[in-house]
Amino acid sequence: MNLCFRRIFVVILVALAWAVVWSPVGVLTGIIVDPGGSMDEMWVAIGAYPGFLCGAVFSAVMGIAEGRRRLNETVLSRVAAWGAVSGLVVGVIPFVLGTVNSALPLWLWSIVTVGAVTILSSASAVGTASIARMAKKRALHGASGDAV
């Protein structure tokens, strides 16, 4: 039972980290879309919600697809691919749940939204794996006494 709670904790941690990293993207979107500040949107949340969902989906997909292999042991191209899969899954959610109210055609809006979320998710996955690799190297150097 302890392993189950540990995995859930890791999923939540990764999801929260991605939400924090994606929050400035939401603010940047708000600056581009609404430079005058006339919309009553919480732009930080616009970036944080998909970041949290993509992080959670990525962690779940990695846990299922890679089995016993840890994140720092997985090839970066596979990590990027699983990140893209999580981005596709989360990016499609708004279109499955309802129609987007926009002046843009639906096909263009869907390409922009799904594409941006997929690219961000893939980049976040590679970043997460890189951080995990650096932490593993640091732990190995610290254990051997060679750390400065």
Tens of pLDDT, residues 105-139: 777 878 888 899 999 999 999 999 999 888 888 88
Write out the residue range of the structural domain in which residue 12 sits.
Answer: 2-144
Whole-number pLDDT of residue 143? 59
Tell me which residue of 94, 93, 11 sits closest to 58, measured CA to CA: 11
The encoded tokens of residue 14 equal 């990764």
119 Cβ neighbours under 8 A, 6+ residues apart = 84, 87
Of the two residues 1 and 124, the one the predictor is more confident about is 124
- pLDDT tens column, 51-95: 999 999 999 998 888 877 888 888 899 999 999 999 999 988 888
The one-character DSSP state at 71 is G
CB 27 within 8 A of CB 129: no
Whole-number pLDDT of residue 39? 72
Query: How many structural domains compose the chain?
Result: 1
Whole-number pLDDT of residue 99? 66
Tell me which residue of 121, 113, 19 sits closest to 79, measured CA to CA: 121
Per this entry, what is the length of the chain? 148
Mean pLDDT of 43-51: 88
**Position 35 confidence tier, pLDDT thresholds 50, 70, 90:** confident
